[in-house]
Structure 1
Amino acid sequence: MDDYRVVNRENWDERVAAHAASPGYKLAEFQADPEFISDVVRFDLPRLGDIAGLRGVHLQCHIGTDTVSLARLGARMSGLDFSGPAVAQAQSFADGLGLEVDFHQADVYDAVEVLGAAAYDLVFTGIGALGWLPSIDKWAATVSGLLKPGGRLFIREGHPMLWSLDDATEDLAVNYPYFETQEPMVFDEGGTYVETDTEFQHNVTHEWNHGLGEIITVLIEHGLQLTAFEEHDSAPWVPLPGKMTKDPDFDEWRLTDRPERLPCTYTLQAVKR
């Protein structure tokens, strides 16, 4: 099997320019309004609380819009991503906004070695990150290694129930694993999740799902205490095209028909003991 990191990195590297140019990431809004923050971070403002002065790191940060948003809320942020073009784009973006945010290119499992052990008050992970990792246990060990005692993990992520659904079927069919598997799910799909006319060459990805019980269990095993957990019936993108309606108040999408049937995302918080 091809190295999943090489395959996935090629996929993400190629999409950086299209994402930065798309209206979905709203880079122009960030530049026009010094108080503008990403939709993902805005959704969780009541849960984040005051983060001013905290030393934070955003793992798997991509082009840095959530990272920059946390910096605008007063945290001293770093970002880490395995894609060189994404890190370069994120650094240029933050510098252009006059923000002191440092971005680093590295695999997430190498974050402690690259960024330093027990150095952070806040570890943030956003939408669509965990599914690229084969081992949720290694991820939890990384999070624990980065956090100071009393430091907090904050996740807003796609729900594993959502990831198990096949968006190509008419009904909500469970066609993919809910639990972590040794072998990845291999997809070969063109396009991306933002509006673009770009035709991509690297379309293969290797992905994994991780059940909620698996995620919570490994966090506990690596010395974190769960402090908050909330499931949401909405997502900040359209995971099931043709089956969802946009809520204009939150700029989020939920099932058009009986949205209470499906948890689309969740917010989880845990503190290092």
Structure 2
Amino acid sequence: MSRIDDLPPLRDVIARHGLAAKKALGQNFLLDLNVTARIARAAEIAPGDLVYEVGPGPGGLTRALLAAGADVVAVERDERCLEALAEIAAAYAPGRLTVIPGDALAVDETAVLGARPAKVVANLPYNVGTALLIRWLSADPWPPWWRSLTLMFQKEVADRLIAGPREDAYSRLSIMAQWRCRVRHHFDLSPKAFVPPPKVTSTVVGLIPLPAPRHECRLSALETVTANAFGQRRKMLRQSLKGLAVPAERLLEAAGVVPTARAEELDIAAFAALARALAEPPFRDA
């Protein structure tokens, strides 16, 4: 595939608008339209889908999403890119592409998207990617406003999303993602696919929200337990959970967890049991 639309090549767009990527904005532009089309296929975009995109830059992925038939709402912080995105919007029917200038961390997605469920598809800026993901995973109520997340991260972040117990990448992020979602590795991308090339490999992952979390517990309690446990991941839990200001060994006993276990050894069910115990008397009132 050499073309997906009648718009100019992305390199020409970048040169004409002077869109050198800014490190301060975490920008690495993806120019290969074959790759952006592959991302759209991974997201299973169908005509009529509503897609929410963060950080479209000059619009390479945006064009692939539109070509696949989606209506796109894109949030772009870099004012330099707005004119290039306006040219894309003008090439499609009115309403197919809506561009919101601003910081995605400050956007109320439900306000800009309305009641229509959306798929989130984005080559996330490296400097805000994890923060946005945690916010989306913490959506209340659940199931969330988004139908799926198809996101590009640094490979080390993607590895954390997919990792299981006793794997080096297993972390708080692994638990938060897998507690509420089915997580899938789609494919890796070489740094050569970007301008400028980053120093790391990138990975596209997919997350599909479960109707309900895999194990019952309060989100706030799960966040608290995992933060303390992985804050000292190599230590036994009877030591790492002392920051909870409750008797750690009694909490572990109540949850049925061996006090000498370490955070990296526990599965999601065990962390959920700890979170349930923490949220109940006598620990709740401690």
TM-score (norm 1): 0.50
Distance 2:130 2:30 in 1: 27
Alignment match, 1:266? 203
Q: Which amino acid aligns with 2:183?
A: T
Residues 13-70 of structure 1: per-residue CA shift (max 9 Å, x gap)? x9992239xxx877xxxxxxxxxx8233223355233422111111111122211210
The reply to whether residue 115 of structure 1 matches residue 77 of structure 2 is no
Confirm or deny: 8 A CA contact 1:59 1:125 kept in the other structure: yes
Alignment match, 1:232? 188
| Unaligned 5+ runs, structure 2 | 1-13, 21-28, 161-168, 211-286
Alignment match, 2:156? 160
Residues 55-112 of structure 1: per-residue CA shift (max 9 Å, x gap)? 1111111122211210110111111111222123212232135562110011111222
Confirm or deny: 8 A CA contact 2:40 2:64 kept in the other structure: no
Confirm or deny: 8 A CA contact 2:45 2:65 kept in the other structure: no
Q: Show the 5 A alignment for 1:212-227.
A: 213=171, 215-220=173-178, 224-227=180-183
Confirm or deny: 8 A CA contact 1:160 1:212 kept in the other structure: no
Distance 1:96 1:151 in 2: 27
Distance 1:16 1:212 in 2: 44
The sequence identity of aligned pairs, in percent, is 10
Q: CA deviation at 1:212?
A: 8.1
Change (3 A) 1:266 1:84: same
Alignment match, 2:134? 140
Task: Tell me the secondary structure at the aligned position of residue 19 of structure 1.
Answer: coil
Distance 1:239 1:107 in 2: 24
Larger strand percent: 1
Task: Tell me the secondary structure at the aligned position of residue 203 of structure 2.
Answer: strand
Alignment match, 1:125? 122
Q: Which amino acid aligns with 2:51?
A: G
Distance 1:40 1:215 in 2: 27
Alignment match, 1:106? 102
Alignment match, 1:73? 68
Distance 1:102 1:225 in 2: 28
Task: Tell me the secondary structure at the aligned position of residue 56 of structure 1.
Answer: strand
Task: Tell me the secondary structure at the aligned position of residue 44 of structure 1.
Answer: helix
Confirm or deny: 8 A CA contact 2:43 2:121 kept in the other structure: no
Distance 1:161 1:15 in 2: 31
Q: Which amino acid aligns with 2:197?
A: P
Distance 1:130 1:143 in 2: 18
Confirm or deny: 8 A CA contact 1:53 1:74 kept in the other structure: yes
Alignment match, 2:49? 54
Q: Show the 5 A alignment for 1:179-194.
A: none
- CA RMSD between the two structures: 4.0
Task: Tell me the secondary structure at the aligned position of residue 115 of structure 1.
Answer: helix
Q: CA deviation at 1:124?
A: 0.9
Which structure: larger Rg?
2
Instruction: Between the two structures, name the one with larger relative contact order (CA 8 Å, sep ≥ 6).
Output: 1
